[in-house]
Structure 1
Amino acid sequence: MDRLIYTAMTGALHTMTQQATVSHNLANVSTTGYRTQSDTFRAVPVYGESLPTRAFVLDSTPQADFTPGAIQQTDRPLDVAIQGSGWIAVQLENGEEAYTRHGNLKMDPDGVLQTQQGLDVKGETGSITIPPDSHIAIGRDGNISVLPTDSRVTAVSIIGRIKLVDPPTDQLVRGEDGLFRLKDGGEAPASEEVMLIEGALESSNVNAVSEMVKMITLARQFDMQMKMLESARQNAQQASEIMTLRG
């Protein structure tokens, strides 16, 4: 009886948590570079001398699906998509490094290259500043070239290179802000293998149909766990009545 109650109770609780994850995935179905988040259940026994029959259901550490999304051409100079595996390094406000595949870049009023969330894109030597009145081109290797709008100047200058990294996926952890970081809190080295596609963006890898099916399945699973709790209550009540009659 104990095992039934504890398993159904904690299972229902974490089913609701998984529903929240599915809802989050569906809300980001059109978010550039988003990686699908997933959860799995695992059973954990309750330790203690008087609790040999009880077990909890726990939600394991959320995992991410690193399958690349579809590439969509935009022809915007500041849009870049990563071809295959890899990440764009950004600098957080506290100075830490994080990673994203959201390649919809912009320039702030001072010309600093940033993500749409206002985070500085890291270059190999720090932040990247675009000179005013310049045409910009981002190469496949992350090199940023500028050409002044003044027609009398024809020299192309390379002003920096976006830091592109490709750490093993098992070393990455997703933060609450949606960005990825190394589990040990360090910084990944720049990779020469990561390539960009200029004038394109990578779509989210969320499969909306699959997530909807999962949401329905979780709803039915929650109903089943609640019915199990009701069955446990009825069994306990009937057992109590039998003991009363015997008394």
Structure 2
Amino acid sequence: MDRFLYIAMSGAKETMHAQAVNNHNLANANTDGFRQALANANTVPVRGPVFDSRDYAQLGTDGTDFSKGQMQSTGRELDIAIEDEGFIAVQGPDGEEGYTRAGSLHVDAFGLLRTAQGHQVLGDGGPIAIPPAEKIEIGTDGTISVRPQGVGPEALAAIERIRLVNPDVNELERGDDGLFRMADGGEAPVDAEVRVVSGMLEGSNVNTVEALTRMIELSRHFEMQVKMMDSANTLEQSSNRLLGLG
């Protein structure tokens, strides 16, 4: 009987985790460049000294769906979207290099180029600083050109290039801050083939209809597993009463 209870208990535990992951995806359905997380669970035997004695549900490594989100036109000169594959390199809160596809950029009060989440955008020489300018343009290769204040329209000068990378997505892991990093702790090399589109943003790749359907499905799974635990408890009590009669 305890095998029955153990399977139901471990299944309910992993279903709760899957619900948390799904809810996190729903909460980021409108976050630019967000990549939905995937929760996987597998049946794993409990290893004993002689034979495998139990099976239980074990959470696998959380994966990420790297499919593209829908492109949205904004017309804003500091909004950029990656055309195909690739990432924008930024500096995370820990000072380490991270990668994102969220391309809503702005210049802060100190002239530093940041994402909407506050991460500093990196160039070839580190964090990018923008001098006071009347116009800022970002080229398809990430080159930033500015027209300084008080000069004519012909005085457009390139000042820096956004660090664009395209690592193997299988070598990336998501951090608690939402940024992706190389699993080995290294830094991805610059990829000159990565292209951006100015005046566009890439939306989240979360399908809200599918996520809501998944939420209902997981809720029903959890209810079923709790009922299984109740049934196991009832059967155990019945068995104890029968043994007591003997």
Same fold (TM over 0.5): yes
CA contact (8 A) 2:138 2:144 kept: yes
When residues 51 and 20 of structure 1 are mapped into structure 2, their CA distance, relative to the original with a 3 A threshold, is farther
SS of the residue corresponding to residue 78 of structure 1 reads coil
Aligned to 2:169: 169
List per-residue Cα deviations over 1:32-52 (Å, max 9, x = no partner). 000011101112222334984
Aligned to 1:34: 34
Counterparts in 2 of 1:173-192, with a 5 A limit?
Answer: 173-192=173-192
C-alpha distance in structure 2 between counterparts of 1:35 and 1:196, whole Å: 18
Aligned to 1:8: 8
Counterparts in 2 of 1:60-71, with a 5 A limit?
Answer: 60-71=60-71
CA contact (8 A) 2:38 2:62 kept: yes
Moved beyond 6 Å, runs of 4+: none
C-alpha distance in structure 2 between counterparts of 1:198 and 1:15, whole Å: 41
C-alpha distance in structure 1 between counterparts of 2:123 and 2:198, whole Å: 17
Compute the displacement of 1:239 (Å).
Answer: 1.2
Aligned to 2:99: 99
CA contact (8 A) 1:2 1:53 kept: no
Counterparts in 2 of 1:1-247, with a 5 A limit?
Answer: 1-49=1-49, 52-152=52-152, 154-246=154-246
C-alpha distance in structure 1 between counterparts of 2:111 and 2:183, whole Å: 32
CA contact (8 A) 1:10 1:57 kept: yes
When residues 55 and 161 of structure 1 are mapped into structure 2, their CA distance, relative to the original with a 3 A threshold, is same
SS of the residue corresponding to residue 241 of structure 1 reads helix
When residues 231 and 94 of structure 1 are mapped into structure 2, their CA distance, relative to the original with a 3 A threshold, is closer
C-alpha distance in structure 2 between counterparts of 1:245 and 1:126, whole Å: 79
Compute the displacement of 1:151 (Å).
Answer: 4.0
C-alpha distance in structure 1 between counterparts of 2:34 and 2:43, whole Å: 30
Q: Percent identity?
A: 47
When residues 154 and 185 of structure 1 are mapped into structure 2, their CA distance, relative to the original with a 3 A threshold, is same
Compute the displacement of 1:131 (Å).
Answer: 1.1
C-alpha distance in structure 2 between counterparts of 1:79 and 1:153, whole Å: 21
- Once the two structures are overlaid, the 10-residue window that deviates more, 66-75 or 47-56, is 47-56
C-alpha distance in structure 1 between counterparts of 2:122 and 2:134, whole Å: 20
Number of paired residues? 246
When residues 157 and 151 of structure 1 are mapped into structure 2, their CA distance, relative to the original with a 3 A threshold, is closer
C-alpha distance in structure 2 between counterparts of 1:82 and 1:92, whole Å: 19
Compute the displacement of 1:201 (Å).
Answer: 0.4
Compute the displacement of 1:123 (Å).
Answer: 0.2
CA contact (8 A) 1:2 1:54 kept: no
TM-score w.r.t. length of structure 2: 0.95
C-alpha distance in structure 2 between counterparts of 1:97 and 1:214, whole Å: 34
SS of the residue corresponding to residue 94 of structure 2 reads coil
- Once the two structures are overlaid, the 10-residue window that deviates more, 124-133 or 181-190, is 124-133
CA contact (8 A) 1:80 1:103 kept: yes
C-alpha distance in structure 1 between counterparts of 2:133 and 2:178, whole Å: 33
When residues 184 and 53 of structure 1 are mapped into structure 2, their CA distance, relative to the original with a 3 A threshold, is same
Q: Which runs of 5 or more structure 1 residues have no equivalent in the other structure? A: none
CA contact (8 A) 2:92 2:179 kept: no
When residues 105 and 214 of structure 1 are mapped into structure 2, their CA distance, relative to the original with a 3 A threshold, is same
When residues 33 and 13 of structure 1 are mapped into structure 2, their CA distance, relative to the original with a 3 A threshold, is same
